[in-house]
Amino acid sequence: MTESIFKVRDLVKKAAAGELLDREDLEYLFRLDHHSPAGGLLMGAADELSRSAGGGRAEIHTQIGLNLAPCPRNCRFCAFAAVNGVFREKSELSPEEAVEMARRAEAEGPNAVFLMATADYSFGRFVEIGREIRSRLKPETVLIANVGDFDEQGGRRLKEAGFAGIYHAVRLGEGRDTPIPPEKRLATFRAAREADLRLGTCVEPVGPEHTAEELAEKTLIGREARPCYSGAARRISIPGTSLENHGMVSESRMAYLVAVVRLAMGPEVIGNCTHEPNVPGAAAGANLFWAEVGSNPRDTSAETSKGRGLGVEACRKILEEADYRVLDGPSKIYG
C-alpha cells in the first residue's frame, strides 16, 4: 500500500504541474486496485481537476438516434450489429419526426444536441437532416454529429450544415471486435480537424477483459487527437452476444478508470464523460453525461427513452447527488 500511494501522489503532482502522464504512468494506474488509499487519492485528484476545469459546472448533452438497422459492420458490442440479431428491420425517423424530436430535446435544456446514425446510414441524408434540424433550433444550440467515418469533404459538409463538432472514437478492440481499422478512425479525426469540427472522444466500450496496455493505448490515442473532452464508458452487455461472456465492469471500477483518463488528458481539456450516468463516476472526475432518445447501440429497446436512456432531468439529479450544478446554456466543452 505504502509504495503505491507514494507513486500515485507523484503522478498526481506531475499532472497538477501540467506535465502529461506517459504510457508507463498510465499502465501503472490502470493496473492499480481502486479499492485502496492510492485509488482513493487518484479519484479525489481527478474530481478536483474536473470541477476546476469546468468552473464547477457539469454538462448534459442529449443524443438522438435517427435510425435502427441491422448494421453490416458487425461491431460485436453493438445492439445494431447484424450478427447480434437484436434488430432485424430497418427503420428511421422522417425529417419531420427528427426535427420534432430535436426541438423537444432542446426544450429540456441540454447544453448540446447530438444526432447519431448507424455507420451505413446515408451520409447525404444525415447532412440534410442535420441542416434542417439546425435551421429549426435556436441559433445558440450546439449541434454535434455522431456518425460513421468520413473524409475531408464529408467534414466540410457537416460543418457547412451547421454542426459544431463530432463524437468519434478509436474503440477498444477496434480492428478485433470491429472490422474497422483504427487508421480509418484516425483519418476521420483528421478530417474533422481540417473542417474545424471540434472532437469529443472517449475510452470505450470498456469490458473486464481489456488490459492496462490497451486502456493506456486508447487513452493516448484520444489525447493525441486534441479533443475537447474524453472520458471512459463501459460496455453494456447485449444479451446473447459473444462479448456477454466477459461480463461488465462495475460502476465502481469505471469511476476509477474515468479518473485515470481525467488525469491523463491534462488540465486544458474541460470535459470528462462517462456513460451511463452514475454518481460514483461524477464523484471521480466525470463532468459530462448524456441523455438519450431514439435508437441506442447499447439498448435492445427501439426507443431508448423507454429503455436504458435517461432524460435531462434524470441526468441532472444524478449530477446534483454528486454536488454538481449543471451549466445553463450552450456547451462550454464544445465552445
Interface residues with ligand SF4 (CB under 6 A)?
71, 73-75, 78, 80-81, 118-119, 178, 297
CB of residue 170 to ligand SF4, shortest distance in Å: 12
Of 56 and 181, the one with the shorter C-beta distance to ligand SF4 is 181
Of 71 and 99, the one with the shorter C-beta distance to ligand SF4 is 71
Output the furthest CA–CA distance in the chain (Å, rounded).
61
CB of residue 49 to ligand SF4, shortest distance in Å: 30
Of 148 and 330, the one with the shorter C-beta distance to ligand SF4 is 148
Of 78 and 137, the one with the shorter C-beta distance to ligand SF4 is 78
Of 38 and 206, the one with the shorter C-beta distance to ligand SF4 is 206
CB of residue 176 to ligand SF4, shortest distance in Å: 13
CB of residue 242 to ligand SF4, shortest distance in Å: 14
CB of residue 146 to ligand SF4, shortest distance in Å: 9
Terminal Cα-to-Cα distance of the chain (whole angstroms): 42
Q: Cell match 447527488: residue?
A: 321
> Kindly report the CA angle at 296 between 226 and 303, in degrees rounded to 5?
145
